[in-house]
Amino acid sequence: MHSYLLIGVMALTTIIIRFLPFILFKNRTPEFIIYLGKTLPYCAMAMLVVFCYRNMEFTNVTNWLPGLVSGLIVVLLYKWKHNTSIAIVAGTILYMLLVQNIFR
């Protein structure tokens, strides 16, 4: 019974969280929410870039070259295809290939 109660509370919480914005903003979306919707994806990507490159050491070329090359490939593929998934998957595969096969 305890498990069913937990599942019910989690389901109800998820439903409330999903439908609450539609209930609160049914007439018009506030300008601040529109602003956040435009700027937060760029902020999240910038934080991911900083997170990925934060521990990079420039003492040896094998430490930084795979990450730099893979990052450039991600940027170039995104600019070319405008598809985030293709760019990230290709960059990840290239990075793993470089780290495991070329820069051991």
* Domain co-membership, 33 together with 69: no
pLDDT for the residue 76: 96
* Domain co-membership, 50 together with 61: no
* Structural domain boundaries enclosing 11: 1-55
* Domain co-membership, 12 together with 51: yes
The predicted model gives 37-60 an average pLDDT of: 91
Question: pTM (2 decimals)?
Answer: 0.64
C-alpha to C-alpha distance for 91 and 93, rounded to whole angstroms = 6
User: Under a CB-based contact definition with an 8 Å cutoff, are residues 56 and 63 in contact?
Assistant: yes
* Domain co-membership, 50 together with 5: yes
Q: Which residues, including other chains, have CB under 8 Å from residue 95's CB and lie 6 or more apart?
A: 66, 67, 70
pLDDT for the residue 12: 97
* Domain co-membership, 24 together with 43: yes
pLDDT at position 25 over 90: no
| Span 8-21, pLDDT tens digits | 999 999 999 999 98
User: Under a CB-based contact definition with an 8 Å cutoff, are residues 95 and 65 in contact?
Assistant: no
C-alpha to C-alpha distance for 26 and 6, rounded to whole angstroms = 30
- In the chain, the number of structural domains is 2
* Domain co-membership, 63 together with 81: yes
* Domain co-membership, 44 together with 68: no
C-alpha of 95 from chain center: 17
pLDDT for the residue 99: 93
